[in-house]
Structures are given as C-alpha cells and as structure tokens.
C-alpha cells in the first residue's frame, strides 16, 4: 500500500508540473468541457478532460501494478 501512495503522489506531482504545457496543446479546452463566462462570473467544468485524464491514470497505474506484483 505505501508503494501505491508514493507512485500516486509522484504521478500527481508530474501532472501538476506539466499542466501548463498540457493546457497549451489544448488539454483543458476540449469539446465537452463546460465553460461559462459572463460579466463578473466565470465557471469552468472540464468533464471531457477529466474523463481522459482518468482513463490515462487508470492505464498507467494498471501497468505499474502489473510490473510491481
């Protein structure tokens, strides 16, 4: 279990560091992401981006689990 938390933490740190680069290539403004902007109000809910990142992290963690056990 400690290995899982360490690997998860490392992956989250890497994503946090790479987030500005990923947003420049379009991740975060995909079709399906909800963005509402009004005069004094901004609302952003990245549904599609969240699903893609979830699938990617699931695949990465599945591969790590296969090789660690």
In a domain, 8, yes or no: no
In a domain, 37, yes or no: yes
Give pLDDT, residue 38: 93
The position carrying tokens 């660690």 is 68
Task: Tell me the pTM.
Answer: 0.60
pLDDT per residue of the chain (69 residues) written in tens, 0 to 9: 788 888 888 888 988 888 788 778 777 778 888 989 999 999 988 899 889 889 988 998 888 888 877
Complete DSSP assignment for 9-38: HHHHHHHHHHHHHHHHTTTTS-TT-EEEEE
Range of the domain at 42: 21-68
Phi, psi angle pair for 41, to nearest 5°: -145, 130
Number of domains the chain is built from: 1
- Distance, in Å, from the CA atom of 7 to the CA atom of 3, rounded to the nearest integer, reads 6
In a domain, 9, yes or no: no
In a domain, 44, yes or no: yes
In a domain, 35, yes or no: yes
In a domain, 11, yes or no: no
Instruction: Give Cβ neighbours of residue 28 (< 8 Å, ≥ 6 apart).
Output: 19, 22, 46, 49
In a domain, 50, yes or no: yes
In a domain, 14, yes or no: no
């Amino acid at each position: 279990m400690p290995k899982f938390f360490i690997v998860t933490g490392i992956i989250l740190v890497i994503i946090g560091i790479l987030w500005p680069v990923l947003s420049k290539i379009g991740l975060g403004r995909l079709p399906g992401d909800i963005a509402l902007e009004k005069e004094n109000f901004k609302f952003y809910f990245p549904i599609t981006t969240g699903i893609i990142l979830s699938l990617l992290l699931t695949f990465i963690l599945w591969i790590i689990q296969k090789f660690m056990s």
